[in-house]
Amino acid sequence: MFQDPDQFIREKLSKKFLSINTIRDGVIAALLIALQKKEERTGPIPPVAQWRKEKSSELRQIASDAFASIDAPFEYSTLSQLKTVTDILKKASDWEHFSKQEKDDFDSRCQSLFDKFDEDD
Protein backbone atom coordinates (compact mmCIF):
# COMPACT_ATOMS: atom_id res chain seq x y z
CA MET A 1 0.00 0.00 0.00
CA PHE A 2 2.78 2.46 0.87
CA GLN A 3 5.88 2.69 -1.31
CA ASP A 4 7.18 5.50 0.90
CA PRO A 5 5.09 6.01 4.06
CA ASP A 6 7.10 9.05 5.16
CA GLN A 7 6.47 10.80 1.83
CA PHE A 8 2.78 9.85 2.04
CA ILE A 9 2.48 11.57 5.42
CA ARG A 10 4.45 14.65 4.36
CA GLU A 11 2.29 15.00 1.27
CA LYS A 12 -0.93 14.73 3.27
CA LEU A 13 0.26 17.14 5.95
CA SER A 14 0.87 19.77 3.27
CA LYS A 15 -2.91 19.97 2.82
CA LYS A 16 -5.07 22.37 4.82
CA PHE A 17 -7.59 19.73 5.89
CA LEU A 18 -7.78 15.95 5.71
CA SER A 19 -10.68 13.49 5.60
CA ILE A 20 -10.94 10.92 8.34
CA ASN A 21 -10.09 8.16 5.84
CA THR A 22 -6.87 9.95 4.84
CA ILE A 23 -5.98 10.39 8.50
CA ARG A 24 -6.65 6.69 9.10
CA ASP A 25 -4.29 5.81 6.26
CA GLY A 26 -1.76 8.27 7.68
CA VAL A 27 -1.90 6.59 11.08
CA ILE A 28 -1.21 3.26 9.41
CA ALA A 29 1.70 4.82 7.49
CA ALA A 30 3.07 6.35 10.71
CA LEU A 31 2.92 2.98 12.45
CA LEU A 32 4.59 1.37 9.46
CA ILE A 33 7.48 3.84 9.81
CA ALA A 34 7.80 3.11 13.53
CA LEU A 35 7.63 -0.65 12.96
CA GLN A 36 10.29 -0.48 10.27
CA LYS A 37 12.62 1.49 12.55
CA LYS A 38 12.03 -0.98 15.38
CA GLU A 39 12.63 -3.97 13.11
CA GLU A 40 15.80 -2.45 11.64
CA ARG A 41 17.06 -1.72 15.15
CA THR A 42 16.55 -5.34 16.22
CA GLY A 43 17.88 -7.02 13.08
CA PRO A 44 17.71 -7.13 9.30
CA ILE A 45 14.34 -7.08 7.60
CA PRO A 46 13.38 -8.65 4.28
CA PRO A 47 13.46 -6.42 1.18
CA VAL A 48 11.81 -3.17 2.27
CA ALA A 49 9.19 -2.95 -0.51
CA GLN A 50 7.91 -6.46 0.19
CA TRP A 51 8.05 -5.94 3.96
CA ARG A 52 6.06 -2.69 3.69
CA LYS A 53 3.46 -4.30 1.46
CA GLU A 54 2.94 -7.21 3.85
CA LYS A 55 2.98 -5.06 7.00
CA SER A 56 0.62 -2.41 5.62
CA SER A 57 -1.84 -5.12 4.61
CA GLU A 58 -1.56 -6.68 8.07
CA LEU A 59 -2.06 -3.28 9.77
CA ARG A 60 -5.12 -2.50 7.63
CA GLN A 61 -6.65 -5.81 8.66
CA ILE A 62 -5.91 -5.15 12.33
CA ALA A 63 -7.43 -1.67 11.95
CA SER A 64 -10.51 -3.09 10.23
CA ASP A 65 -10.97 -5.64 13.02
CA ALA A 66 -10.41 -2.93 15.64
CA PHE A 67 -13.09 -0.70 14.11
CA ALA A 68 -15.48 -3.66 14.08
CA SER A 69 -14.65 -4.44 17.73
CA ILE A 70 -15.86 -0.97 18.77
CA ASP A 71 -18.86 -1.03 16.40
CA ALA A 72 -17.39 1.70 14.22
CA PRO A 73 -17.16 1.84 10.43
CA PHE A 74 -13.76 1.42 8.78
CA GLU A 75 -14.77 4.09 6.27
CA TYR A 76 -15.82 7.47 7.68
CA SER A 77 -15.41 6.79 11.38
CA THR A 78 -15.33 9.64 13.88
CA LEU A 79 -12.05 11.11 15.08
CA SER A 80 -12.71 9.70 18.54
CA GLN A 81 -13.22 6.21 17.08
CA LEU A 82 -10.01 6.56 15.06
CA LYS A 83 -8.06 7.54 18.18
CA THR A 84 -9.40 4.43 19.95
CA VAL A 85 -8.36 2.28 17.00
CA THR A 86 -4.92 3.95 17.02
CA ASP A 87 -4.49 2.78 20.62
CA ILE A 88 -5.56 -0.74 19.64
CA LEU A 89 -3.05 -0.72 16.75
CA LYS A 90 -0.28 0.32 19.13
CA LYS A 91 -1.10 -2.53 21.53
CA ALA A 92 -1.31 -5.03 18.66
CA SER A 93 2.16 -3.94 17.52
CA ASP A 94 3.90 -4.68 20.85
CA TRP A 95 4.14 -0.97 21.68
CA GLU A 96 6.18 -1.67 24.82
CA HIS A 97 9.08 -2.84 22.62
CA PHE A 98 9.36 0.45 20.72
CA SER A 99 12.04 2.94 21.73
CA LYS A 100 11.03 6.25 23.27
CA GLN A 101 12.05 8.02 20.05
CA GLU A 102 9.96 5.66 17.89
CA LYS A 103 6.95 6.22 20.17
CA ASP A 104 7.41 9.98 20.24
CA ASP A 105 7.80 10.18 16.45
CA PHE A 106 4.65 8.09 15.93
CA ASP A 107 2.62 10.13 18.41
CA SER A 108 3.83 13.39 16.85
CA ARG A 109 2.91 12.25 13.33
CA CYS A 110 -0.52 11.10 14.50
CA GLN A 111 -1.23 14.34 16.35
CA SER A 112 -0.26 16.33 13.27
CA LEU A 113 -2.69 14.22 11.23
CA PHE A 114 -5.47 14.52 13.82
CA ASP A 115 -5.01 18.31 13.84
CA LYS A 116 -5.81 18.39 10.11
CA PHE A 117 -9.22 16.76 10.47
CA ASP A 118 -11.90 18.51 8.44
CA GLU A 119 -15.04 17.97 10.47
CA ASP A 120 -17.23 19.00 7.54
CA ASP A 121 -15.98 16.10 5.40
**110 vs 88: CA distance, rounded Å:** 14
| CA–CA dist 83, 99 (Å, integer) | 21
Three-state secondary-structure class, residue 43: coil
Q: Which residue has the higher pLDDT, 2 or 1?
A: 2
Looking at the predicted structure, is the pLDDT value of residue 114 above 80?
yes
Cβ-contact 81, 27 below 8 angstroms: no
**pLDDT one-digit tens code per residue, 37-47:** 999 988 888 88
